[in-house]
Structure 1
Amino acid sequence: MHSDTDGDRHNRASRLRDVPAVVKLLLASMALFNVGFYLVVPYLAVHLSDTLGFSAAMVGIVLGLRTFSQQGMFFLGGSIGDRLGRRPVILCGISIRIIGFVILTVADASAAVVLGVLLIGFAAALFAPAVESANAEFGRELEQSGVMRRTELFGWEQMSSRLGTVIGPVLGAVLLMFPFAVSAAAAALLFAGLWVCFYLLFPARDATAATVALPEVWTTVAKNRAFMMFAALCSMQFVALAQVYLMLPEHLDRTVGSQSALGWFYGGAAVLVIAGQRPMLRAANRIGRRTAIVGGLTLMAMSFVIPAVPFAFGNPTAVVSYLVLSGWLAVLYLGQMLMVPTMRDALAVLARERHLGAHFGMLNTIGGTLALGAGAGTGLLYDHAASAAAPWLATAAVTAVAALLLWYWSRTNDPWLPRPG
């Protein structure tokens, strides 16, 4: 068995070595994007509440605005990438994110902080769909040439992203001893380096650039009813994940009295994804698309029940809080690992492999719009609900309803059919 495992690892490494240099750049950039992101954003709630004195509801609104400016604008950003080409859009997006971090470095008023947060989010709405759609197209080419399945490349993508969420929170936790501006400045410098890498290494390669008008792209996406329904239901995974940045620090603050463990939780969740993504992808391939996607979303819904249980027996101790939060994040990210690579492949199939920036962007736009309302709603529950379990149970219920609707809708729809070849 040992030799088989070594052989599997060697084959996987060989396949990764066979991918073009531009794919390696994309995978590396996903790790570095998240290093910069997690240097700042997970600790933004602490900065808003402790330094600026925002209420939980206001923190939820600001975090929701960040998610909306990013995920909510993905459709526009992805469409622009389809129209103008990926390279200029990626470079522009990184530039805007640098400006956003610079604003956070010097901002001492709430309005300036909100502006910086919005710019950081909108920047990602430009470069992230371009990177994701490029990876999807390269993945199709790699699959057609027999190098690796596209879902496997998506698995590497998830692992690369999570590598950044290991390094970023650890660096952010170290930088917590310094003012928040230091973390923001470090993130700005990192993205400046990324801009140089993309300027030098990313090719001007996009056959659709400058040939398709934006209204035609938008019409193509909007008229794809099967895609729109699928994207709307799957977008709940974004909503569930967005709650981590409000609910984790809020729960720690209310039950432990300190948010000092934030970095450890973010880093631990990322390590779980790095170690578990490939086994979960193999499980998804065995059980099939429908079960993997719906089952993953169901696991995500169930995870939110875990932290709610101790409140039935009184206020949890610090040890119990650490344990239930660990269980919550583990089940939440196991569900995401099971769902996301297969979901992204199904999205590309439903999009008929055309205008992938806009199609992937639409998924994120729906999710970001819903996350804006969910962030405000969760914050209001924290401020006003009689039970401390209410935010957890409400999130679990909404996510479970989406999973049930997805299971029902998927019984008669195309993304679950076997792909040719």
Structure 2
Amino acid sequence: MNALERRAVGGLALVYWLRMLGLFMVLPVLAAYADDYAGATPMLVGLAVGIYGLTQALLQLPFGLASDRLGRLPVIIVGLGVFLLGSLLAASADSIEMLIAGRALQGAGAVAAAINALLADLTRPAVRTTAMAILGISIGMAFLIALMIGPVFTAWLGLAGVFHLAAGFALVSMLVLWLMVPRPQRREPTGLLTGLRAAFADRRLHPLYGGIFVLHAAMTAVFVAVPVLLSRRLGVDAADQWSVFAPAMLLSILPLPVLIWLAERKGHQASVVLGCIVLAAVALVGMTQVGSTGAMLLALCLYFSGFNLLEASMPSLVSQAAQADARGAALGMYSTSQFLGAFAGGALGGWIMGGWGLDAVLIVAGGLLAAWLVFAPRTPWRIPAAASGRTG
């Protein structure tokens, strides 16, 4: 990467890390603490946990379209501001309904597509998968750190204090974005209908939308089943499960540079991506046979190794295949598919676990990934810069 690309990647990764750390810190504790709010019921507590993902899914495309028309930086600043307001509302909540409203407003700051589009504007196609991978790693590290420090900070500050901390992280993110991230080249704003047509009508993008839906549906199902499996079969208490997930996620990062090198530099993108789909599917089915924490650690490491490459490659492929003047819209539709997949995977995983048990959840998740292989070959693996309409 050149100096401008390093600044762009470093600044946007820090923005992502701060925002997601503020969000993830409440995940290990929200369900337990939300019971204390006035009017709390199990259904409403679950809604408080999950409403963020729903508003994210609904608003990714509008934010992406807005970034094409109004510019990336202003839209991201507004989205971070909405997240800040949602955090403050959740911090001041005295009822479960008010907490749900705060969480929904947090999700309404749906800037993932706009951030990915800005990163694509500021990087060349040759280094874009690496740049996207660094963003993905920053999110993964935020998740790992949040799992460990979230309960500690909640014990010190209370749940309201953690939401105030999230608001502070959002404010720092806005400063980092404004002071550190380079400005993209000026370009003509994209019309609303043009952006929508580019996001929906381009058939090259459809396999990518479907792929990210499947990938995140399977991932959410994993987090429905595996914590229960660790607790019931392997005797790992919920408070100690980070000691299994954290090493697995950290070790799974190690093969990522080699896989990206094979995909980007050696031109084996299709083989690497298809191989990672197979690896992740086999690892999920293999989890049904584990009899020790060591075996589960290995299976999770293999699964996340495949997941990490897929997570890094997909937005890069979208950004290359989409028209440059509608990149935000395409990445908005991509992010919508991602969050809808997560929502569907959670709902499907819970329903399957209640009716057929833990193993069925993992087998179905592996089957979803295997089904991806049917339409994955239609993915546009290599898009020349001129064909993608790149202007930045």
TM-score by length of 1: 0.78
Distance in 2, Cα, partners of 1:88 & 1:103: 23
Aligned pairs (5 A) from 1:241-320: 241-252=219-230, 254-255=232-233, 256=235, 258-285=237-264, 286=266, 288-310=268-290, 320=292
Q: Does residue 1:169 correspond to 2:169, yes or no?
A: no
SS of the residue corresponding to residue 304 of structure 1 reads: helix
Correspondence for 1:212 among 190, 194, 201 = 190
CA RMSD of aligned residues (A): 3.2
Q: Cα deviation per residue 1:136-155 (whole Å; 9 max; x = unaligned)?
A: 12112xx6xxxx62222223
- Deviation of 1:351 after TM superposition, in Å, equals 0.9
1:394 corresponds in structure 2 to 364
Q: By how many angstroms is 1:224 displaced?
A: 0.5
Q: Is the 8 Å Cα contact of residues 221 and 361 (structure 2) preserved in structure 1? A: no
Is the Cα–Cα contact under 8 Å of residues 229 and 358 in structure 2 kept in the other structure?
no
SS at match of 2:123: helix
How many residue pairs end up in the alignment? Answer: 381
Whether the 8 Å CA contact 1:81–1:357 is kept in 2: the answer is yes
Q: Output the CA distance in 2 between the equivalents of 1:259 and 1:128.
A: 30
Q: Distance in 2 between matches of 1:227 and 1:246?
A: 29
Q: Tell me, which stretches of 5 or more residues in structure 1 are unaligned?
A: 1-14, 311-315
Whether contact under 8 Å (1:58, 1:376) holds in the other structure is no
Asked whether the equivalents of residues 114 and 331 of structure 2 are also in contact (C-alpha less than 8 Å), the reply is no
Describe how 1:28-43 pairs up with structure 2 within 5 A: 28-43=14-29
Aligned partners of 2:84, 2:252: CA distance in 1, in Å? 28
Give the aligned partner of residue 351 of structure 2: 380
Partner of 1:238: 216
SS of structure 1 residue aligned to 2:42: coil
8 Å CA contact 1:83–1:208 kept in 2: the answer is: no
Match of 1:114 among 92, 100, 106: 100
Distance (Å, rounded) in 2 between the aligned partners of 1:262 and 1:121 = 27
How much does 1:240 deviate?
A: 2.4
Give the gaps of 5 or more residues in structure 2: 387-392
Matched-pair identity in %: 20
SS at 2:100 equivalent: helix
For the 8 Å contact 2:9–2:134, the answer to whether it is kept is: no
- For residues 249 and 155 of structure 2, the distance between their equivalents in structure 1, rounded to whole angstroms, comes to 22
Shift of 1:54: 2.0
Distance 1:336 1:50 in 2: 36
Q: Deviations over 1:24-67 (max 9, x none)?
A: 31132222223222212344345457985626x973x6655432
Corresponding residue for 2:390?
A: none
Does residue 381 of structure 2 align to residue 416 of structure 1?
A: yes
Q: In structure 1, what is the Cα distance between the partners aligned to 2:84 and 2:171?
A: 7
Partner of 1:188: 167
Deviation per residue, 1:69-111 (Å, 9 max, x gap): 2144311211111111112211111111122222332335332
* 1:133-190 deviation digits (Å, cap 9, x = unpaired): 11112112xx6xxxx6222222333333333334333321422534333322222222
Separation in 2 of the partners of 1:114 and 1:204? 36
Give the match for residue 349 of structure 1.
320
Residue identity opposite 2:275 in structure 1:
G
C-alpha change, 1:42 and 1:361, in structure 2 (3 Å) is farther
Which of the residues 404, 414, 421 maps onto 2:374? Answer: 404
C-alpha spacing 1:85/1:64, structure 2 compared with 1 (3 Å): same
Structure 1 residues 169 and 281, CA gap change in structure 2 (3 angstroms): same
CA distance in structure 2 between the partners assigned to 1:165 and 1:365 by the alignment: 21
